[in-house]
Amino acid sequence: MKNRNYIVHLAGVIAMIFWGMSFVWSTQVYQNLNPTATIFLRLFIATIFFTAILFVFHLNENVKKEHLGLFALAAMFEPFLYFIFEGYGLKNTSPVIGSGIIALIPLVTPVAARIFLKEHLTPMNIVGFIVSFVGVIVMLLNKDLEFIASPKGILLLFGAVLVAVGYSIALIKLTKLYKPLTITWVQNIIGMLYFAPMVVIMERFEPSNFANIGGYIVPLICLGVFCSAVAYSLWAFTFSRLGASRANVYSNLIPVFTAIFSYFIIHEALTANKIIGILLVVFGLVLSQMKGKKQ
């Protein structure tokens, strides 16, 4: 049983590594494609990948008609609304700041989980959330203790946080009905249908440079395979075992990995504030997973 728990936590960490890297990959792709085109192609790649895996290894499940509404709601939250807010928010902020705002999801999710899912939290869980939150805030400050980010970008990213909470509620219900691979596969297909008309509309206002495919094909494939396919499957698995509140605290690791990857790949400065913030985020994550008396 303990080994099984380690697998669950490892799955959550690996998902965060891929999503932390997604902010860097997205920034690279956005130099040629607008966010809607990027996300549509990302989902298209993920769908091809999933279809091959599910049918080659005979892992596909039949989805009941009465559950399509729940799938449609989940896909409306993520990938549709979430990626719109995150994509355009990221275009107006740096990868580290963007990932830092997204890391606020664990602080909002427990409230929703208590209301809709009747989940309970221990005092240690709550302390862990607070410590991680402080770590995120520290990462977003400069040496003069000032926030440096576009108000438009921050607002859009907060929109992403809110819809991610809605997705968490829908996801926890779906994990009781279907396997993680099935959930991710179906939501990607529905997400593609949502994004198709958006691509046509946004291309009129913000044309993409599809011709320069050599400049973005590698990070785009990584976004599709690792972030929209593998990471979401691992995340659904983690959710099914830990619940919305405890699983979502792993989102605090996203800015940690983003800061590290941004430093090595796109040479974004790794300041003392970011290093201190990273340590606080990790410490808070450990605290949040400790068991104790429920409230």
| Burial class for 13, CB neighbours closer than 10 Å (0-12, 13-18, 19+) | middle
Average pLDDT in the chain: 85
Residue 226's alpha-carbon distances to 25, 92, 222, 283, in angstroms, are: 11, 24, 5, 26
Domain ranges of the chain: 2-288
Q: What's residue 150's pLDDT?
A: 75
Residue 139 reports pLDDT greater than 50: yes
Q: Is it the case that residue 33 has pLDDT exceeding 80?
A: yes
Q: Which two tokens stand for residue 83?
A: 């990626």
Query: 33-37, 112-116, 245-249 — which one is most confidently predicted on average?
Result: 33-37
pLDDT tens digits along 88-130: 888 888 787 777 777 777 767 776 776 776 667 678 777 887 8
Question: Hey, what's the torsion of the CAs at 235, 236, 242, 246, to 10 degrees?
Answer: 50
| The pLDDT of residue 16 | 92
Nearest Cα to Cα of residue 183 among 133, 237, 221: 237
pLDDT at 200 over 80: yes
- What pLDDT does residue 194 have? 95
What average pLDDT does this structure show over 20-26? 91
